[in-house]
Structure 1
Amino acid sequence: MVAQALKDSGDVSGVLDAPEVMINGIIFTSKWCHICKIYRPPRCRHCYSCDVCVEDLDHHCFFLKKCIGKRNHRFFYTLLFSLTVYFLLMLSFCTIFLVKNPNALFLSTITTFILATISLLASVPLFFFFAFHTYLIADGLTTYEQILRLYKSDKNPFHKGCWRNFTALLFGNQLSRHL
């Protein structure tokens, strides 16, 4: 809301000094977004596809045409989990049908085999994508931080421990404090 008001008005007179935020003993200086005309809090990035700054930006999902960030990361993770389980169940049921009904009609067998193949082709990449995001959440990283290797030599200040990272993602506050 504040970001949109500053973006629309172009008035930056109230924003003179870059605010500093301390997280787990590490001081972050907020960066200025020239497009949105705001100081971005830590982990906030500008998405050039959506043309907006997104808090805790993980990535821009081209399949969903949305940025995955603080407000919708739990729903994205739940979607990955649900789709993975769905396709694995579909593959299991198709396999059970093919094994238990060897004398089924030719059309039923072919249809079931096609469904099983589609389920297998969809579930394998989805499973690895879900596993990758599970790893990122457990380490307290975003996709951008992993790609840029921001915390390889230093301690990740956003890592709260595996259990706390998951509970913060799945049950934490989604509302933005800064934007």
Structure 2
Amino acid sequence: MLKTSWTDPGVVPRGIDSDPPVDPPPERDLTSASFYPLQNLPRQKEVQIGNCTVRLKYCDTCKIYRPPRCSHCRQCDNCVEDEDHHCIWLNNCIGRRNYRYFLIFVTTASVYAFLTSALSLTHLLVLYHDRKDAVENPNSVSFQNDALAKAPVSALLMIYALIMGLAVGSLATYHFWLATKNRTTHEQLTSSMMRPHIVDNPFDRGSILGNCAAVLCRPPTRSYIRRRDYTVA
């Protein structure tokens, strides 16, 4: 959790393309009522990835052409490489440099929650069966009075951990499914909204094993943030 929260997700430096080439504004349609002046828009750039052509969007805030799979986070106010989403619980973006740590965190958290729920239920069952073995009339022993009443914390912990395990486990399952397709949450939402006009994913390796290896086993990239450098106000 700390590694995911404190790692630079892949913030792209600002001001690289502060003066981009612009295209002339289109001619105004005199029949339409427009009270806003036409502006020169930055010229679009295209890069070739495999057999697909990807257009690079210009970010007016960061003054850069966003690399492929890069998005601008409104909460962090930064362009982040391979941005998946902004996690409000970790107070950090989930991007190229910390996505693997995020997957490990949600997976281990869900396993820990299910294990806690199972051990709490085991504790209640042990109390119940020990009580039945200790009395002469086992039919007089009830699970509610002899187990739940003696260990209410285990009962509450079992329910709470089960709910959290289902919630976090569903999130982990969803992100592992995205990893099998080598897509981010942004790309998956765009694909769902633009279907059937969406083009093929240019980053798909063609197999589940190849996509998971590309997401989970790729070497970490260096951070562009120079934490010990001086800042200019």
TM-score class, shorter-chain normalisation, is 0.7 to 0.9
Partner of 1:70: 96
What's the TM-score once normalised by structure 2's chain length?
0.67
Contact 1:55 1:176 (C-alpha < 8 Å) held by counterparts:
no
Change (3 A) 1:131 1:3: closer
What is the identity percentage for the equivalent residue pairs of Structure 1 and Structure 2?
A: 31
Q: How many residues were matched structurally? A: 175
Q: Does 1:30 align with 2:56?
A: yes
Partner of 1:85: 111
Partner of 1:12: 18
Q: Does 1:127 align with 2:169?
A: yes
Larger mean Cα displacement after TM superposition, 152-161 or 60-69: 152-161
Q: Structure 1 residue 162: deviation in Å?
A: 1.3
For the residues of structure 2 that align with 1:89 and 1:141, how far apart are their CA atoms? 30
For the residues of structure 2 that align with 1:136 and 1:2, how far apart are their CA atoms? 22
Contact 1:70 1:176 (C-alpha < 8 Å) held by counterparts:
no
- In the alignment, structure 1 segments of 5+ residues that lack a partner are none
What's the TM-score once normalised by structure 1's chain length?
0.85
**Alignment partner of 1:149 out of 172, 191, 199:** 191
For the residues of structure 1 that align with 2:64 and 2:55, how far apart are their CA atoms? 13
Letter matched to residue 68 of structure 1: I
Q: Structure 1 residue 169: deviation in Å?
A: 1.8
Contact 1:55 1:70 (C-alpha < 8 Å) held by counterparts:
yes
Q: Structure 1 residue 20: deviation in Å?
A: 2.9
Change (3 A) 1:71 1:29: same
- The C-alpha deviation readout for 1:45-104, integer Å capped at 9, x for no partner, is 000100000011111111111111101100111111010100011011111111122147
**Alignment partner of 1:114 out of 147, 156, 159:** 156
Partner of 1:45: 71
Partner of 1:21: 47
For the residues of structure 2 that align with 1:166 and 1:148, how far apart are their CA atoms? 21
